[in-house]
Structures are given as structure tokens and as C-alpha cells.
Structure 1
Amino acid sequence: MPNQMQDRMNTSLLGVALAGLSGGLLALVLDHSELATVIWIVGVVPVLLALVVEIVRSLARGEVGLDIVAALSMSAALLFGETLAAAVVALMYSGGTFLESFAEGRARRAMSDLLSRVPRTATRYRNGGLEDVELDEIDVGDLLLIRQGDVAPVDGVLQSVGAMLDQSALTGESLPVRLARGQDVMSGSTNAGDSFDLRATQKAAESTYAGIVRLVEEAQASKAPMARLADRYSLLFLVVTIVLAGAAWLFTGDPIRAVAVLVVATPCPLILAVPVALVAGISRAAHFGVLIKGAKPLEALARVKSLVLDKTGTLTDGRPKIARIETLTVLDPDNILRLAASLEQASKHPMARALVQAAHERGLVLAVPTNVTELPGEGLTGLVEGRLIAAGGAGFVAQQTGAVAAETQILAAGSALVAVAIDGQLVGHIIMADALRSGTGELLAGLRGLGVQRIQLATGDRKAVADEITAGLDLDAVRSDLTPQQKVALVAAEHAHGPVMMVGDGVNDAPALAVADVGVAMGARGAAASAEAADVVLLVDHLDRLLPGIEIAQRARGIALQSVAVGIGLSVAGMIAAAYGYLTPVQGALIQEAIDVAVILNALRALNIRPRKSVASAATA
């Protein structure tokens, strides 16, 4: 709402200034010069008053900028009878403000398109039929029907054989993604195929899409260190402008030259180019599934020199998968998995969910367990198809069977074992492992190519696990057995090597994310605490999204600096020409207007940044 009010104010001021300038010119053409002067003054005064109010507010916040030059130039032009120049400056100032507002609005709309797609209702199975319900009525465990063209209203697990989903609004992937039964579906994904059933795993307010809405709102209102730096340069430029204008008047005795100098310096591209380019960069990064929470994190992301990576859920997938199934009887591996997964449906443990998903991926039909008893962290027992099933750690299952835990092969570091017993007899072991994400080596090489000089792994896992997972990777250091406090200390120490980025997904990573110059959270399945503490959230579970995110940040920052350098250079050249009498106030105003429009249009190029082919292909892997 404040943005809309400001936009309306900027539009109104532009209309007043345009009407004043054109009305005065018309009166001048009709040979009514005195009337033209009055009309120009009438068109200038509202813009000047609004500008003075904005200057007072800025000074109250301790900010001094080039708006003062705009006010001085309009006031001086009116004072010395250069009313046409004053009218041109008023149009220039109001037009520049309008263009800046329009540019930022365009960048905001590109992000807000995400919000406009959120559904209002959902179709739920209930009592043998279907019913339409409000999103806040959906409970965890509800079975929903997602028709063709519908947007998934909550996070859930696919219950149908398969589904074709368009995730472009969330990830930037142009092609639909095919999912199999048991795979996770993100809220905000559009059904691009046949209808499918979705089992809700989150309430609407806790789902991915609702989190994106909150993060987008945070991302749309921040001021970057670059922008504050621009303000400091603005103060220097203000002094130079006033000194040059005063010198031109003093040495020539002509106050009109001073007016011309003031006019050509107003408003400075420093004010316009930086916020437009950075907000446009934020919008562009969101297209690739990288949500940056404002201009400050974007600029920091562009300058990152050191990277600290968490392991579980970041460098690795974070979800244990079946490495192998050892059979100790005539029962085949799929049957062992089917019975164990049927029982594990009653548990929320990550290992249980991994077993259920693996069974669905193999096309196994699971039975409904009854009389389930769970010992947290140990295992479960219950009836499946009339048979007593026990699944869990080797020691837990051995207690249930009354036998000594059977020996199995030595587990690799980072692996875990699920023993399975049927009717008191141990029938097999399911070996689970959290594997390294595919393409990690190429990702690290890509990060170094973008200027990241130091890359370290920081994990709370044992050294043997960390060493095995990272074998062969181009890492500068592997730090294991770390507490959350030690992770914080490690990130703090890395500041000595330049801006630091920390990537993590767990609650224990949140403190380190907050300490880093740029904290990056895995938003698809990461903990809410890490997403809250982070500056950047990857909207999908792909670490390689860092590549387009960093490149877009670097190029958006480069575009901002380029606009500032060119704009200021042209402004200074125009000021010198005006001081020597080569430009009249009206000519100076027109030239500065052209400069301001040019730098804003240049800054908007950040909306169309295309990452290099190698980076873009990684982003859609």
C-alpha cells in the first residue's frame, strides 16, 4: 500500500510538471510570455514543495543526498527569472522519480507474480466424495485431488503412479518435471498433466509457497551498502557542484552560469541507478529459484570470497537411500522392504519416510499396519497382514526376537542399518546411506570460477563420515565434529579472508547463517529456523542454484557501478561545459534528463541477465 501511494504521488507530480511545461510553451507560442512565466511557476512550485518535504525527511533520518541540488537549481532558476529552465528541471526531477518508481515496480512485479498464483481453495477427499475447502482447513494427512492446471496448494507426497509438474514459477526450469509415486510435491507447482492425488504433509501456512510469500515481502524493502555508499558520494558530489557553481558565478559575475551548473547536475544517477539495478537483480535471481532477501544480501553475494558448506542436506541429499538389502532367509529383498515399509508408515522418523518412499519408487503396494508400538530412536513393532513385524536398529530387533544380533558386513562411514524380523525371526538388513549430491565436483569448480577462493566443509558428523563423503572433492578444509557454536566461530574466523557465505539447512546451522555475510538456506526441505536466519533461500533442493545466483548478483552490481560511473562522468562534463558558458540552463536540464533516462534504462538490463551456458545448464539439472 505505501508503494502504491508513492507511485500515485510520483505520477501526479509528473503530470503537474508536464502540464506546466507544455502549457507555458503553448502560451509562449501564442505570444503570451507573461502568462507562460506564470504557468511555468505554477508547474514548478508543487514539485519543489514535495522535494523540500522529502529533503526534510531525509535530513531527519541523517541522510544527505542530491535532492538538495534539484531544490537549489529550481529555486535559483525561479529567483533569476529562468522559469523555463525551472520547469524543465521540475519535469526532469519528477520524470526521473517516476521512472525509478516504474523500474522498481517492474522488478517487484516480476517477483510478485509468484504470489498471484497462490490458490484460494483445494479439493479434498472426504467420506467417499470430494469437497472444496479453504486452504486453512487442510490438515496434515488429508488426501487432495489436483486437477490438470491446478496449483498444488500445500506441500505433500504424490500418491498417484506419476505426475507431470510445471515448477517454472518456483525454479525457472522451462520443462515440466515428472515425479513418481512417493516423491515430494512443492506447493506452488502447477499440474501440467493428468489429475493426481496428493497427501498433505504440511498445513498451508507452513508450506513452501507460504514461506516464499513471506520471504518475497522481506526481499522487496531493503537498502544495500552500495546505496549507502552512493549517498556518501552524493554528499561529495553535492559539495563539488556547489563549489563549481559558486566559482562560475564569482569569476564571471554571471549568476545564470551558476544556475546552468546546478541544473545539469540534477538529479544525479547515483540516486537512480543503484537501487533499480539491484532490485532488478533480485527479481532475476528469483526466476532461477534463488530468493535473495533484499539488496544488501545481493551485493554481499556478488563479493563472496569464502564459502562454508554444511554436509547433511546440503553437500549430501539429506535423505537416506537404500544402498543394499541383505537377505538372511528365502524371502526376496522386495518383500522384506514391502513389509518393513508398511510398518514404517506409522512413523515420522526420516529413516521411516525414506523406506516408504523407496517402496513406492519400486512400485510396491503397502499394507496398513495395526497395533504399532514405537520406541523413539530405536524401532517399531506391529502387525502387517496378520504377521508381527519388527524393524529398527540391530540391537532393538534382536531384543524383539530374543536372539543375538546377527553379524552383517562392516558398514561404510555414514551408513545406517535397519534390521527386519518377521514373527520373531530375523529375515534381513536394509543398509541406508546419505550419498553425496551428484555433480558436486562440477559445482565446486563453477564456484571457484565465479571468484570463490576458499571452500570448506563444516559438519557435526564424525571425521570418518566427513572424510569419506568428501573424498576427491576440491575443498580447502574439512572440519568435523563441530558444535553449532564451533560453526559460528569458524564462520567468524573466515571473515579475515573476505566476505563469507555459509550454506546450511538445519536448525543447528541457523546461528552460523546469521553470522555469515551471506547465509544461504536450502528452502525446499530445510528447517524454518535456517530459512529465517538466512539472507538467501534456494527455493528448490538443488545446491547448484548458487551458480546463477552468484553470477546474477555480480552482474547486477556491475551494471549498477557502470551506470553510476558513466552517469557521473557525463554529469561532470556537462557541469564544466555549463561553467564555461557553453550550456544554457535549459540546455543543461535537457542534457541531464537524457543522462538520467539512460542510466535507468541501463540499470534495467539486470532484469534480462542470462547466466553463462554452463551455469544455466547447472541450474536446470
Structure 2
Amino acid sequence: MTELHDDQQAARRTTPGTHAWLEPALLAVTGAALAAGGIAWLAGAGTLADACWAAGTAVAIIPSLAWVISALRRGRAGVDLIAVLALAGTLATGEYLAGALIALMLATGRWLDAAAERRASHDLRHLLEHAPRSARRRTGDQVRTVPLSEVRVGDLLVVGPGEVVPVDGRIEGGTTVLDESVLTGESAHIERAAGETVRSGGVNAGSAFDLRATATESDSTYAEIVRLAQQAGAESAPVIRLADRYAAWFLPLSLTVAGLAWLLSGSAVRAVAVLVVATPCPLLLAAPVAIVSGLSRAARQGVVIRDGAALETLGRARTLVLDKTGTLTTGRPRVIDIAAAPGHSVTEVLTLAASVDQYSPHVLAQAITDEAHARGLTLLPAHDIAEEPGRGATGHVDGTVVSVGKHDGAPLSAWARAADNRATLDGAATAWLSTDDTPTGAILLRDPLRHDAPRTLRRLREAGITRLLMLTGDRTEPAREVAAVLGLDDVHAQQTPADKVAAVRAERERAVTVMVGDGVNDAPALAAADVGVAMGARGSSASSEAADIVLTTDRVDRLADAATIAVRARRIAVQSALGGMLLSLAAMVAAAYGLLPPAVGALLQEAIDVAVILNALRALRLDRTALPTIEPATEQLIRHFAAEHDDLREVIEAVREAADQLADTTGPQALHAVHHVNRLLTEQLLPHELAEEHQLYPALAPALGGPEATATMSRAHTEIHRLARRVATHLQLADANHGHLRDEQLDDLRACLYGLHSVLRLHFAQEEENYFSLAH
């Protein structure tokens, strides 16, 4: 790969304002000529005034002619030719004031357009300028600055305060604080602990830390973003080619109208007036400004788009094809339930399983270990670990042979059948625990849906997507469950990469199709789609290379942001081109009838051009109707309560386990489980719900349009408290009955517990989807 420094230099040569001095110089000269002529005219020196205006006109002809020749060399007959003819016509007819006004209009339009593109592409250029060029490598006790191209995998680098992380790597030492806003578009600082991986491009917002390189410069995250940003331009967008097509017929039309005006009226001045108002050089450049503005706006949201064509195509897409794992789901399986054989506890099952799985690199083993750490369990030392691919791991723990993995196919006992049935209903994978070849427990795991996925798909439908399809290599049951929750139009499970390509091609025949994925197996489908979108924050480099759009933050809602921006930018681009040209046509008709003298027409055209370019710059602004604006303090509250949700998962499962025990027995053990649930409800869950009601919901109300937006959730709080009080009342009745439940209590108590479990699951899911997904 070419070094980033060379890439940046090449990028600078292609960015707007390559001849940055030309536009302001032309504006200064033409403005001075017009002003000098005006002063001379006021002083009664008409001849001198005409000379000044004629000089300003002549000066403007030279660059205009150069722009025409440049366009013709590229095979484009642009409307700059009209400007040259108008300038020459004013000199030929003695309309020197009109010529000076056209010259000033042309210079002003060019300057405005250059300034607009500089502003619009500011964020894209910032990505390039932000790219690191060197790194500080530690060798023994010495630290030496070396070119980034010399960094190798395994090198120990030093990243000082305020410095950019030069390559992808792993933190060595303590916790560090990073500003990853350039990568993600999110302003909040991120803490990374020792051993965690970080991506290049983040800024060290804390003290210096050591970084162990895990990738070279060319293979690092930021290098890929730089490569994509360099390709981000507007010249190839279909909407801009459309503007060229407008010019193809606008030019002969303008000449025809001017010729007819001259022929029918016998006045060359009318013909010049027509050409004056038909000089929309900056006007047709408004479309590129709108597209580049859209690219810039997307970059600020953590979305890197390769070029204007991808943005424009996304703006008219009607079908969206999505991968499941890592795209609609988090890509990180988590434990959703644990079943223990009679005589064993959930804590024992998880501890033994995690003690063996802590040595396994398998993604499910990692999820089991993470769950044990989250519950504060102390793992036991395991020895003689052996792992059979596709089967699981086995080891010795305290003299006991412990196995974690697939079931061996032996007949299942009653508790195991119940666990297996639950896994089937929940679409979960099961890790079976055996001790000394005896089934002891089952751990159910599932890749959870992203909290922001439902809101994202609703926003995509609002942006014009009419068909949502999921393609996944996963099993049919979990795929259908995800599709049902999200309201997808169709789902295809157990898909190979070739199947995905065929499906995408079939969809392309019906409508413009976007494909979203994150894995190596998604790369062919991404390349086959009209627009490929890669989840680049954790996805494979292969999918990023094949994609037209890369989401640099691990949030699927950035796709909805990109679609909203694309639709808006395309609409503004077409609006700017068509609206401006219609205004010019109306002015041409007025000039042909002699209603607009050349000087007045020049002023009118100047106003049209400026207005249209300013309209194109609206694409820089984010559509505020897309997402509510959340205050930083409210965002902190959201994160706080989201973390509490994670802690309360055990409470929800304990509610159902107590109900299950009541279904099996009514003895002291079942009553003890209900007492335990009551304590959890009283001490943990109900205080959480009250805090949400009195802290979170009032903070969200202004952003969501008032307290009515949270009224449904408040009603759920009321139902949770009612069911909890009912459970407590049953326990009081049992205590009054010498610690025994009456027969007439059992059905109602079981119904209360199962109902409470269902309400809590639904309520948590609704809050996470509607509220917690608003936090950036």
C-alpha cells in the first residue's frame, strides 16, 4: 500500500481549492473594476466608467474560456460556454455595466462554490489530516520515533497524551481514556482497560500508555478509513451526471432563445440579456455541493461513504438485505438461562462450566466465562484441559471430570428435557455440563438482538425502504424469531455465501438493493448489491473492502442515519438543479420580451445562483426529526439505568425459577424460593422501577415530546408493583398459616410469578428499544 503520507498529498491535490488563489483573485479584480466604474460614473466620467467595466469583463473572459476548454476536454459541454458568449456579447453591444456585473456574478459564484465545497468536505479532509504519520517505538529503555510504515506486529509503542493511536493494538499496563469521535462520531470518552484492543485513529485523552501493535499501518482500522475517505467525492454521482444532462439541453435551448429574441426583435441587446440570465455556472455546481455535503454529514455520524454515487444510490434504495449475526444481533452470545439438575445449584453449574471454559477460545465459552465474572463467582483451577472441535471442552476440577459442550445423545431426564424444550422455544444454543459423565446442568445462550435494531428498521422504512429481508447462515428457529420481533418481510436461514449472492441478485432485479453485513462470508453479497454496507467497527476487513459504505462505530442505527442523510442530500441536489434552472428559464423568457435589461438580468441571476448554492448547503445539517436530541445529563441517566438492567437479569430469572418450583412442589424449598424472590423484588427491582419513574422518565419527556410519551411505560411500572404486592401478600398468608401455602393460593401465586416474569421481560425490552437505544 502507498504510505499514508503520500496518500494524503494525493488527496490534497484533488480536494476543492487546488488553485485556491484563483477564485478570490478573480472576485477581487472584477469587484474592483465594477466599483471603480461606479465611482467614475458618479463623478460624471462616463468614458472612464465604461473602460473600467469593460476591463473587468475582459478579465473574466480568460478564466471562463479556460473552464470551457477544460470541460470540453472531459467531454462535457458545460454552461460555462454561455458565460463566455454573454461576456463577449456585452463587449460587442457596448453593455459594459452588464458585462461587469456578469463578471462579478461569475467570480462570486465560483468563489461561493469553492467555499461551499471546502465547508462541505471539511470533515472528509479532517479524516485525512488526522491520520498519524509516525509512532514512538519502545526498545528496552529507549523510545524512538519511527515512520509508521516501519511498525511491525508485536512492537511496543508509546502513545502520549493528545496523540493519535497509530495502529491497531492491545493496551499494556493500566486503564486509559480515548476520544474515538473521529472513528465513531460520538463525543463521549471511552475507557479501555489493560489487555483490551483499541483501533488506530482514536486520540489519547488521558495519560501516556503502552500499546502492543497487533496490526501494521496498512492493515489498521484508520488506514482503511483514510482509503475510503480519499475515494469520497461527488463527481461520479448519478445525480451530478443528471446535472450534466440538463446542461446538454440547456445550452442549445439558451442559444435558441437568444437567437429568436435577436431575430424577432432585431435587438442584439435582448439576445445578450437572454445569455446573461442563462449563465448558471454556480447553479449546476449546486448538485455536487449537496452530495459532498451529504458525504461530510455522514462522516460526522461515523459513516464513511466511498463516493457520491453510493450516497445517491442509497438515497433511492427500496430493498434492504441484512445479515443477522453481528448486524441485527450484537454478535456476542450471552447466557440467558441456567438449568441445574436436582441436588445441584445454578451457581455450582456456572462455576464449574466457567472454570473449564476459561481456557477455551470458543465464543460460547467466552460468554459463559463472562457471565461467571459478571456474577462475581470465583473460578476454580482446572487441569488437563482437552477440547474437541465441535464437541466442547473437558478438564479436571477438584478431582472431578467436568465436560462442557454438546449433549452425548443419551436419553434426557425430566429436568434436561425441560431445559432442552426451553432452548428450542427461545431459539437458544445449549452448553451441557457433565460431572463424571453425569449430566449436571445446562446453560442456554443466545446472541441478543441489538437494542437499536427495531428503531433503526422503523427509521429505514420512513426513509423509503419498502422491503426488509434477512439472510443468515444461522438455524431457522432463531432466524425466524428475530424476523418476527423486527417485523421483517422475509427471512432465509442456513444460507451459504453463494446463496446470499443469488438472493441479493434476485432482489436487485426488483428494486435498488442495499446489503448490510459484517463477516468475511458477507463480502461477496456486499459486492453484488447496488450498495454494500459493512459493519466496520468489528467486522472483517474483507467485508469493508467489498463495501461501498462502512459504519465505523458498532451501532446499526448509523445505517438509518446514512439513509436519512442520503435521501435528504439527493432531494436537495435535484431540487437545487431543477429549481435553479426553472428560475433561469423564467428569467430568459422575460429577457427575450425585453422586460429585463442585461444589467438587471445579471443582478437577478446572481441572486438565483447564490440562493441555490446556499440551499444545497442545507444537506450539511442533520434532519432533526430523525432522532430526539438527548442532553448529556439525560444520556448519563440512560447509561446508568441500562447498566442496572444488566444487573437485574438474575432477578427476572429468579422469578420464573420460583414459579417453576411451585409447579413441581409446594414444600419448604419452593416457599423459600418465593421468599428469596420477594427480597430481590423489594431490595433491587422495585427501587429501580421507582427511580426510573421519578428520574429517567421526567428527563426523557422534553426530548420525546412530553410525559405522554412515557405513559405506557409508567403503566407497566404500576402493573409490576401490583404483582409484587400480590406475591408479598401470599407470603404473609403463608406465614400466618405456620409457613405453609394453602391449596387455594397456589394457582394464583404461580400466575402472579409467571405473569410478573412476562411483564418484566416485555417491559425491559421496550425500555431498551425505545429509550436506552437513544444513548450514543
TM-score normalised by structure 2 residue count: 0.69
Residues 438-491 of structure 1 deviation map (CA, whole Å, 9 limit, x = unaligned): 243333222222221111111223323422433333111111232323322222
| Match of residue 11 from structure 1 | 24
| Match of residue 479 from structure 2 | 466
Q: Contact 2:334–2:445 at 8 Å: present in 1 too?
A: yes
Q: Distance in 2 between matches of 1:24 and 1:65?
A: 30
Residues 405-463 of structure 1 deviation map (CA, whole Å, 9 limit, x = unaligned): 99975354865566789999999876543222224333322222222111111122332
Among candidates 73, 82, 90, match of residue 69 of structure 1: 82
Q: Aligned Cα RMSD in Å?
A: 4.1
Change (3 A) 1:583 1:124: same
Shift of 1:164: 4.7
| Match of residue 450 from structure 1 | 463
| Match of residue 739 from structure 2 | none
Aligned letter for 2:537? A
1:440 aligns with 2:453: yes
Q: Distance in 2 between matches of 1:371 and 1:283?
A: 56
More moved, 516-525 vs 335-344? 335-344
Among candidates 555, 559, 567, match of residue 568 of structure 2: 555
| Match of residue 153 from structure 1 | 166
SS in 2 for 1:502: strand
SS in 2 for 1:227: helix
Aligned letter for 1:70? A
Q: Which has the larger radius of gyration?
A: 2
Q: Distance in 1 between matches of 2:23 and 2:108?
A: 8
Alignment of structure 1 residues 17-166 onto 2, 5 Å = 17-29=30-42, 33-120=46-133, 127=140, 135-136=148-149, 138-140=151-153, 149-156=162-169, 164-166=177-179
SS in 2 for 1:503: strand
Q: Contact 1:341–1:366 at 8 Å: present in 2 too?
A: no
Q: Distance in 1 between matches of 2:150 and 2:369?
A: 26
SS in 1 for 2:78: coil
Q: Distance in 2 between matches of 1:48 and 1:468?
A: 67
Change (3 A) 1:492 1:341: same
| Match of residue 359 from structure 2 | 343
| Match of residue 577 from structure 1 | 590
What count of residue pairs does the alignment treat as equivalent?
Answer: 611
Aligned letter for 2:226? V
Q: Distance in 1 between matches of 2:269 and 2:209?
A: 74
More moved, 438-447 vs 405-414? 405-414
Q: Distance in 2 between matches of 1:554 and 1:204?
A: 35
Q: Distance in 2 between matches of 1:517 and 1:259?
A: 46
Q: Distance in 1 between matches of 2:624 and 2:116?
A: 21
SS in 2 for 1:576: helix
Q: Distance in 2 between matches of 1:21 and 1:163?
A: 60
Change (3 A) 1:500 1:613: closer
Identity of aligned residues (%): 45
| Match of residue 318 from structure 1 | 331
Q: Distance in 2 between matches of 1:362 and 1:128?
A: 41
Among candidates 505, 508, 513, match of residue 495 of structure 1: 508
Q: Distance in 1 between matches of 2:199 and 2:511?
A: 36
Q: Distance in 2 between matches of 1:600 and 1:253?
A: 35
Alignment of structure 1 residues 216-227 onto 2, 5 Å = 216-227=229-240
Bigger RCO (CA 8 Å, 6+ sep): 1
Among candidates 517, 530, 545, match of residue 558 of structure 2: 545
Shift of 1:121: 5.1
Shift of 1:262: 0.5
Q: Distance in 1 between matches of 2:116 and 2:160?
A: 37
Shift of 1:314: 0.9
SS in 2 for 1:7: coil
Q: Distance in 1 between matches of 2:587 and 2:447?
A: 63
Change (3 A) 1:467 1:514: same
Q: Distance in 1 between matches of 2:428 and 2:460?
A: 29
| Match of residue 541 from structure 2 | 528
Q: Distance in 1 between matches of 2:151 and 2:381?
A: 23
Q: Distance in 1 between matches of 2:262 and 2:401?
A: 96
SS in 2 for 1:308: strand
Shift of 1:263: 0.4
Q: Distance in 1 between matches of 2:380 and 2:170?
A: 17
Residues 328-347 of structure 1 deviation map (CA, whole Å, 9 limit, x = unaligned): 98994565466446533xx5
Alignment of structure 1 residues 209-220 onto 2, 5 Å = 209-220=222-233
Change (3 A) 1:138 1:571: same
Q: Distance in 1 between matches of 2:312 and 2:301?
A: 17
Q: Distance in 2 between matches of 1:229 and 1:492?
A: 26
Q: Contact 2:386–2:395 at 8 Å: present in 1 too?
A: yes
TM-score normalised by structure 1 residue count: 0.84
Among candidates 269, 273, 286, match of residue 260 of structure 1: 273
More moved, 433-442 vs 409-418? 409-418
Alignment of structure 1 residues 325-364 onto 2, 5 Å = 332=348, 335-336=351-352, 339-340=355-356, 342-344=358-360, 350=363
Greater helix fraction, Structure 1 or Structure 2: 2
Q: Contact 1:551–1:611 at 8 Å: present in 2 too?
A: no
Q: Distance in 1 between matches of 2:394 and 2:148?
A: 35
Among candidates 572, 593, 613, match of residue 600 of structure 1: 613
More moved, 489-498 vs 472-481? 489-498
Among candidates 302, 305, 321, match of residue 289 of structure 1: 302
Q: Distance in 2 between matches of 1:404 and 1:142?
A: 51
| Match of residue 519 from structure 2 | 506
Q: Distance in 2 between matches of 1:554 and 1:560?
A: 10
Q: Distance in 2 between matches of 1:191 and 1:68?
A: 52
Residues 204-240 of structure 1 deviation map (CA, whole Å, 9 limit, x = unaligned): 4322222211111111354311111111122222222
Aligned letter for 1:54? W
Alignment of structure 1 residues 370-519 onto 2, 5 Å = 394=406, 409-410=419-420, 412=424, 415-416=428-429, 432-519=445-532
